[in-house]
Chains A and B, each alone.
Chain A
Amino acid sequence: MNLILIATIAALVIPMYEAAQDNDIWQKMLAFSSIATKASIVILIVSVLRDDWMIGVVGVIILSVGNAALMLLAQILKRLNEL
């Protein structure tokens, strides 16, 4: 199980590198969504490993809030490019 966790953390670094070096804002948004999802998955794995419900609930909420923030930000950025 620890191995899966380490692999997920390693996968978390890939979109981070992508966000750091790409100049297109939509690529950065993609990286953001990827990282937000992976972070909440890692939280869920940790909560299962530790048998801790409290952390698990936080993971679920972050999973949904991360996507909501992404939607709001994407809407504003889209309007920005239209003007």
Chain B
Amino acid sequence: MCWPTVRVVEVTVNDSYLYAIILLMPLTAFMVIFQANPYHALVIRGILGAVSALVYAVLGAADVALTEALVGTMLAITLYAIAVRSSLVLRLGILREDEPEAENLDLKRLIADLHSITSKKHLRLELVPYEDRHALQQALWKKEIHATCSRLCQPEEARYETTIRVEYLYEILKTELSSPITSLSYLNLPTLEEKH
């Protein structure tokens, strides 16, 4: 009986560099796996794309290498960067009068605290200013922002109140935010299914 033999590449003594090139691929793949920061992982995914295109081209699959370079390296990374940028974000609504200026030290310190917490979780903190309290509440209800931060009318020990509508963000901030400037609260908004 004769088995069909599939010969992809004929490795001779002269082609021993092939092993070195092919070894680079699992090396970079492990680098992608062990990367915690999503943006860093994307850059290393680009490196993996370049290396795998090299491996495919050297093994003789020029079309696969071309697809990997065009789709895997260029398109996928760009689209993923945009997706990560718009999803890994905490949009915090503030009043325009409270905007962190030089004299408003409390809010400045609070936002610096929030920034250090969110950057630990690889989240981006985006400040969205609104004209008045009504617009701020409306934006939270319409789910344009994830949280609001505004000055309390009757200041007690906490001068600001932060309302968060996303539960896991509230959990993170409740455990990590130790600032006495603000009080934290969680607002459970009805989901779309419940409304209809």
Does B associate with A? yes
**Residues of A participating in the B interface, judged by any CB pair closer than 8 Å:** 2, 5-6, 9, 12-13, 16, 19-20, 23, 25, 28-29, 31-32, 35-36, 39-40, 42-43, 46, 54-55, 57-59, 61-62, 65-66, 68-70, 72-73, 76-77, 80, 83
Chain B positions 40-88 with a Cβ under 8 Å from a chain A Cβ: 40, 42-44, 46-47, 50-51, 53-54, 57-58, 60, 62, 65-66, 69-70, 73-74, 77-78, 81-82, 85
Q: Is the CB of B50 within 8 A of A9?
A: no
CA distance A58 to B66 in the complex (A): 6
Taking beta carbons and an 8 Å cutoff, which residues of B are in contact with A? 14, 16-17, 20-21, 24, 27-28, 31, 39-40, 42-44, 46-47, 50-51, 53-54, 57-58, 60, 62, 65-66, 69-70, 73-74, 77-78, 81-82, 85, 124, 126
Give the CA-CA distance A13 to B14 in the complex, in Å. Answer: 21
The docked-state distance in angstroms from the alpha carbon of A55 to that of B124 is: 42
CA distance A36 to B85 in the complex (A): 24
Q: Taking CB as reference atom, which chain A residue is nearest B56?
A: A58
Are B50 and A32 in contact, CB atoms less than 8 angstroms apart? yes
Inter-chain CA distance A31–B40, complex, in Å, is: 12
Q: Which residue of chain B has the shortest Cβ distance to A26 in the bound complex? A: B43
| B44 contacts across to A, CB distance below 8 A | 19-20, 28, 32
Q: Which residues of A contact B47 (CB under 8 A)?
A: 16, 19, 31-32, 35-36
A73, B66: Cβ atoms closer than 8 Å: no
Cβ contacts A to B, 14 pairs, < 8 Å: A2-B14, A16-B28, A25-B39, A28-B43, A35-B51, A43-B57, A55-B57, A55-B60, A58-B57, A58-B62, A65-B69, A65-B70, A70-B46, A73-B78
User: Given that A6-B17, A58-B66 are contacting pairs, would A83 and B124 also be in contact in the complex, using a CB cutoff of 8 Å?
Assistant: yes
Most buried by B among A13, A20, A54: A20
Residues in A whose Cβ lies below 8 Å from that of B21:
9, 42
> CA A73 – CA B41 in complex, angstroms?
13
The answer to whether B126 and A29 have CB atoms under 8 Å apart is: no
Contact between chains at B20 and A9 (CB < 8 Å)? yes
Q: Determine whether the beta carbon of A76 is less than 8 Å from that of B82.
A: yes
B46 in complex: contacting residue of A6, A36, A76, CB < 8 Å: A36
Asked if A80 contacts B43 (CB within 8 A), the reply is no
A32 touches B69 (CB 8 A): no
Q: A40-B50, A46-B58, A73-B46 are in contact. List 10 more A-B contacts (CB 8 A).
A: A35-B47, A35-B51, A36-B46, A39-B50, A39-B51, A42-B54, A62-B66, A65-B73, A76-B85, A77-B81
